[in-house]
Amino acid sequence: MTTFATDYLAGRRFLVTGASSGIGRATAALLAECGAGITASGRDEERLAAAVAQLPGQGHLTRPQAFDKADEAAAWMKTLIDEHGAFDGVFHAAGVELVRPVRLTKQAQLDEVFGGAVFAAAGLARAAAQKGALKDGGSLVFMSSVAGSAGQSGMSAYSAAKAAVDGMVRSLACEFAPRHIRVNAIAAGAVRTPMHDRLTKGAADDTVDTYRNHHLLGFGEPQDIANAAAFLLGPAGRWITGTTWVVDGGYLCK
C-alpha cells in the first residue's frame, strides 16, 4: 500500500541512480507505483535488472553506470536525454560510505566519496540545466545525510561530502528557479540498507544499541526516505526548493 495515489506521477519519467538496492531501489519502486516511468541506474548490472523487473508498470529502462566524475555523469545523462527525451525529475541516491580516521584517509578515499556524492551530482545538474533536458516545473533531489550537520569520529570525509551537497542545492535552486525547477536534498539518519549493514557489521551489540537509541524513533527504513523523495519530486513539493529536508527519526534533535 502506497501513501500516494497510484496516478500521483502518471505520465512522468524520472532518472533514479543507485536504483539497484537500498534507498534508490525503494524510491524507484514507489515512483513506479505512483504511475511514473523509471530510468534506473546502478553499478551492478545484474542487481539493477532484477530490481527493474519487479517495478510495476511498463516502459522502465535500465542504464548501468558508475558515478564518480562530473564530466562523465553529464555526458551520460545527455545521452539518455538524446535517446529518450526530457526527464521530469532526477533522484540521485548513488554513493559510497566511508568510516575512516582522518589520519588514515588518503586522496583515493576522498575522490571516491566526493565522486559519488558531489561530483556526480554536479554533473547531473549540469546536464539537467541544458535546454530540453529537464521539463519546466521539474525537480532534482540529491541524497544527503545527517553526517553533513553532526560530527562523528571517523566520518570527516563523508561528512564533508554531504555538507557540500547541502550547500550545492541552495545555489542550484537559485539557478533553476526561473524555470520553476526545484532542487533539494534529503538528509537521512540511519536507514536499514545494505550500506547500513556494512557500517554496523561486526560492531558490538551495545554500540549498535547506542546508535539506534540516538534516533528518537529508531532506525529508519528505505520506504521512509522514498516517501520524502516522492513528495519532493512530485506536485506536492511544488513550493519547496533550496532546502535539505531532514528525515532522521529525530537524530539531530537529541
Mind telling me the catalytic residues?
158
For the record, the C-alpha cell of 133 comes out as: 533536458
State the alpha helices, DSSP H only, in 5-148.
Answer: 22-33, 45-53, 70-84, 107-114, 120-128
Question: What are the residues facing 8 on neighbouring strands?
Answer: none
Q: Is 60 helix (H, G, I), strand (E, B) or coil?
A: coil
Alpha carbon separation from 42 to 67, 123, 199, 216, 246 (Å, rounded): 9, 16, 20, 32, 25
| Rounded-to-integer distance, Cα 172 and Cα 9, Å | 24
For the record, the C-alpha cell of 161 comes out as: 561530502
| Identity of the amino acid at 144 | S
For the record, the C-alpha cell of 57 comes out as: 508498470
Alpha carbon separation from 113 to 81, 107, 118, 160 (Å, rounded): 27, 10, 8, 9
Alpha carbon separation from 55 to 20, 30, 208, 229 (Å, rounded): 12, 9, 33, 17
| Rounded-to-integer distance, Cα 56 and Cα 36, Å | 9
> Integer distance in angstroms from the first to the last C-alpha of the chain?
32
